[in-house]
Amino acid sequence: MAKVLVFIDNPGAAVKKSYLELLTLARSLGEGAVALNGELSDGVAAAFAEYGVNTVVRPSAQDLDDFLVAPKAAYVAAAAETTGAGIVLLDNSPEGKEIAARVGIRLNAGVITDVVAVDADGTAHKSVLAGSYNTACRAKTPVSVVTLKANNVAAEPAPVPSTPETVTVEVPAGSTAAAARITAREQKVASGRPDLTDARIVVAGGRGLDGDFGPVEELADALGAAVGASRAATDAGWISHDAQVGQTGKTVSPQLYISAGISGAIQQKAGMQTSKVIVAVNKDAESPVFEIADFGIIGDVFDVLPQATAEIKKRKG
Amino acid sequence: MKIIVLVKHVPDAQFDRHLNGEGYTTDRDESILSELDEYALEAALQLAEARGGSKAGNQVIALSMGPSGAVNAIKKALQIGATEGVHLTDDALSGSDAAATSLALAAAVRYLGQSSTVDLVITGMASTDGETSLVPAQLAERLDLPQVTFASSLEVSGGRLTARRDADTSSETVEAPLPAVVSVTDQINEPRYPNFKGIIAAKRKSITTLSLADIGVEPAQVGFAGSWTAVTNAEERPPRTAGTIITDEGDAGIKLVDFLAAQKLL
Ligand SMILES: Cc1cc2nc3c(=O)[nH]c(=O)nc-3n(C[C@H](O)[C@H](O)[C@H](O)COP(=O)(O)OP(=O)(O)OC[C@H]3O[C@@H](n4cnc5c(N)ncnc54)[C@H](O)[C@@H]3O)c2cc1C
């Protein structure tokens, strides 16, 4: 049976959904081990057992968070060697991909990012060129490194829980020598809304909101949705850059994407056109977003959004 | 300072893009300088200009790996303001994945560092074709240099660089000694356009062509042969088609909710 190593970075008190998805995928591919960075809290230990993890690897060094990427990659590669992993799984965050990149070089292993599914034989599936192609690819090397996009595997506990053993792996000496040091970190305030990358519904606003994201936020809250934005809206400072959807923002593929006051430039479409259902509200009938909308409304966001919000509240009672 | 900017010649995203032939590589007709690399070039030019520009000996070298057409990306970079161009080109490079690309680029950077030390390698945050962001990190690993990726600001003084980067739950300030590999986001600056003077000046700037033999890389280490991943299948997704479009007559918000209810999305 293949050995699979999952990297889990600072889970805190509870393992988040995207990591549970990784653990579920790992189990479908072989025997799962975890390379953990950070505290092993009781909640996290319980989740590892529930998800059938065999081995929990912990680093010898405590200061991996003080540096950018390099020492974490050195640790994950060392953990893969110790556990004899043939597949290394990471999340698809920018940092997850970069750690994967360097783990690949350290292990002479092919790296595949943005993966939505992995077959039993190791073939990985992903879409490329802004969602215009579905592709299958494989690592040709004995070890492969895969980063999995959130929301594509249903997280499921193991039929039988495990009792994982814990081992410590030496973080290779010198891995911090040529690493950038993180000298300050400012925590951002959490919005309380679902996470943009794995939300089931996204309501996104653009320049058409003219500085007032209220109608977008209210509709999002009525739908239990995450809030997204075009670059024009984030550049204008109306909403934080984290909300940007698109080529240089986040890629989302929710069940429903509501685009409000967004023209639908190619860079915006790149981040949202794999959504299941797309709704667009825009004053200008010529806006390119209407070419891809399942339901388009030529109208003013300040009329349509509040009316829809009120109607949803009415129907939900 | 001696700064190498990596520039890539990529299919223009304004047009339909296609995967073709052996290994499903991208069709490179209608290619342009990757727009995300313009931010890297701008960042390099600003650092060089703050130190007296090319007259004071600052070099901004635009390095591109790619087939013959890639020279166009280098020419554009020269028009924008790079001081010289380097084109790494060899038939054996075709089909290189990130691992093989970073191997060849690392060898090219080492080669360019023989005459005098390279202080910085600056790249865009991702190519607009492959979009993996793997190459900057892999280059740093191969060159054993600090990596400072997704920088949204960049300052250099006293042989050290300071950058900011935005993660989801925090923003970070990072510091590293030079030399280093840096990738920059589209938040870092406003790239300039080539002007008439720049276009004329570019004609006198040199472009050096390098082959694999020049940089000491074997053909088997790159291309399809040297890649660690292979694309085994690619299927074009049917393009999205427009659905129902209505004009608001005072009740579009309600019709929107009707639509959501019919789609079971409420
Ligand atoms: C390198 C690069 C990377 C980029 N990355 C991204 C990215 O990741 N994400 C992204 O979104 N963009 C990105 N862009 C920018 C992109 O090209 C567009 O400029 C941007 O998406 C436009 O945002 P917008 O649609 O909100 O604004 P506009 O293009 O100005 O469109 C506003 C729309 O709102 C409509 N409108 C105005 N008022 C109302 C109203 N009251 N009611 C209804 N409709 C109204 C208008 O008809 C118009 O269609 C990038 C650009 C570059 C060069």
Angle at B198 between CA B193 and CA B204, to 5 degrees: 145
Residue B15 confidence (pLDDT): 80
Q: Is B169 on the interface with A (CB under 8 A)?
A: yes
Residue of B132, B175, B183, B189 to mutate when probing chain A, most A C-beta within 10 A: B132
**What does DSSP say about strands A3-9 and A87-91: parallel, antiparallel, or unpaired?**
parallel
The SS3 assignment for B15 reads coil
Burial A26-48 (b: 16+ CB within 10 A, else e): bbebbbbbbbbbbebeeebbebb
Residue B14 confidence (pLDDT): 80
Q: Is B260 on the interface with A (CB under 8 A)?
A: yes
pLDDT per position as a tens digit, A90-137: 999 999 999 999 999 999 999 999 999 999 999 999 999 888 899 999
Q: What's the alpha-carbon Rg for chain B, to the nearest Å?
A: 21
**Type and span of the H or E element at B120:** strand B120-124
Q: Which of B14, B37, B186, B193 to mutate to test the pocket of ligand 1 (most atoms within 8 A of CB)?
A: B186
Residue B11 confidence (pLDDT): 87
One DSSP character per residue, chain A reads --EEEEEEE--TTS--HHHHHHHHHHHHHSEEEEEEES---HHHHHHHHHTT--EEEEES-S-GGGBSSHHHHHHHHHHHHHHT-SEEEEE-SHHHHHHHHHHHHHHT-EEEEEEEEE-TTS-EEEEETTTTEEEEEEE-SSSEEEEEPTTSS-----SS----EEEEEPPPTTTTTTS-EEEEEEEPPP-SSPPGGG-SEEEEE-GGGTT--HHHHHHHHHHTPEEEE-HHHHHTTSS-GGGBBSTTSB----SEEEEES----HHHHTTTTT-SEEEEEES-TT-GGGGT-SEEEES-HHHHHHHHHHHHHHHH-
What is the whole-number distance in angstroms between the Cα of residue B8 and the centre of ligand 1? 25
**Type and span of the H or E element at B38:** helix B35-50
Positions of chain A with pLDDT under 50: none
| B180 touches B146 (CB < 8 A) | yes
How many angstroms separate the CA atoms of A110 and A129, rounded? 20
Q: What residue in B sits closest to A309 (Cα-Cα)?
A: B253
What is the whole-number distance in angstroms between the Cα of residue A206 and the centre of ligand 1? 6
Closest residue by CA, ligand 1 atom 26:
A206
- Give Cα A57 distance to the centre of its chain: 23
pLDDT per position as a tens digit, B93-145: 999 999 999 999 999 999 999 999 999 999 999 988 888 899 999 999 999 99
Residue B12 confidence (pLDDT): 84
Residue B250: pLDDT over 80: yes
CA distances from B23 to A123, A137, A223, A264, B233 (A): 15, 10, 43, 31, 8
Q: Which atom of ligand 1 is nearest to the CA of A249?
A: 8
Q: Which of A219, A248, A267 to mutate to test the pocket of ligand 1 (most atoms within 8 A of CB)?
A: A267
- State the DSSP code for B202: H
Residue B20: pLDDT over 90: no
Residues found in chain B: 266
Residue A192 confidence (pLDDT): 87
What is the whole-number distance in angstroms between the Cα of residue A287 and the centre of ligand 1? 10
Residue B30 confidence (pLDDT): 81
Residue B29: pLDDT over 80: no
Residue A191 confidence (pLDDT): 81
What's the start-to-end Cα distance of chain A, in Å?
A: 53
| Ligand 1 and B32: CB distance under 6 A | no
Q: Where does the pLDDT of residue B34 fall: very low under 50, low under 70, confident under 90, or very high at 90 and above?
A: very high
Q: Is B195 on the interface with A (CB under 8 A)?
A: no
Of B61, B74, B66, the residue nearest B122 (C-alpha): B61
Structure tokens at A206: 């653009």
Environment class of B247 (CB within 10 Å of its CB; exposed 0-12, middle 13-18, buried 19+) = exposed
Mean pLDDT score, B198-203: 96
Residue B260 confidence (pLDDT): 97
Residue B221: pLDDT over 90: yes
Residue B128 confidence (pLDDT): 86
- Reported ipTM: 0.94
**Type and span of the H or E element at B135:** helix B134-143
What is the whole-number distance in angstroms between the Cα of residue B236 and the centre of ligand 1? 26
**What does DSSP say about strands A124-128 and A133-139: parallel, antiparallel, or unpaired?**
antiparallel
Structure tokens at B89: 């080109």
Mean pLDDT score, B168-186: 94
